[in-house]
Amino acid sequence: MKRLFEYNRIAAGSGHRSGAISAGPAMLALFLLAFFCLGMGGTSGTFGPAAETDRFFRAVVVDRSDTRHEVQGIFVQGSTYLPARTGSAEAEVDFGKIQSARFYVQDDRVLARVTLVNQEEMDFYIQPRTTFEGKTDWGNVTFRADEIKEISFK
């Protein structure tokens, strides 16, 4: 690091240290630092490219106040898989396999009673703050799992 600050002494040909900083190496270091910081911002809570998935699902979401929402492009925390627990196992249930899901708040978790497209019914537990997002005809919507009564996929 000392060489960076003493670069001008050699370039000027003098025998003493001038203390001047060379612009070349300092600019290179600044440029590299800026380059590595690119993309560190994030898009929390936005519906931008970071939130888009490669699959598109439509659903009717009924919230706890019995309000129906026709939601397009629904996803949960950036994915089209429902993060859940079944027994001791972590699971990700594919939206493409779900016909509907009813949600029941139970203390610090939510029971999701899922009806699969093959009519099989399964119970999963999800975190109450699991976030579902999508778009309606009038704007973007966000729901927490503990605010949802039912989701029916179309």
Report pLDDT digits (tens) over 121-133: 999 999 999 999 9
pLDDT at 67 over 70: yes
Domain boundary assignment for the chain? 2-37, 49-153
* Portion of the chain with pLDDT greater than 70, in percent: 66
Query: Could you tell me which of 116, 108, 110 has the C-alpha nearest to residue 132?
Result: 110
How many H helices and E strands in the chain? 3, 10
pLDDT at 51 over 90: no
Give the three-state DSSP class for 6.
coil
Give the three-state DSSP class for 146.
helix
Q: Measured in Å, how far apart are the chain's first and last C-alpha atoms?
A: 63
Q: Which phi-psi region, left, alpha or beta, contains residue 82 (left: φ > 0; alpha: ψ -120 to 50)?
A: beta
pLDDT band at 54 (very low <50, low <70, confident <90, very high): confident
* Portion of the chain with pLDDT greater than 90, in percent: 61
Q: What is the pLDDT of residue 22?
A: 59
pLDDT band at 38 (very low <50, low <70, confident <90, very high): low
Report pLDDT digits (tens) over 11-25: 555 555 555 555 667
In the predicted model, what is the mean pLDDT of the chain?
80
Neighbours of 107 (CB within 10 A): 6
Report pLDDT digits (tens) over 87-107: 999 999 999 999 999 999 998
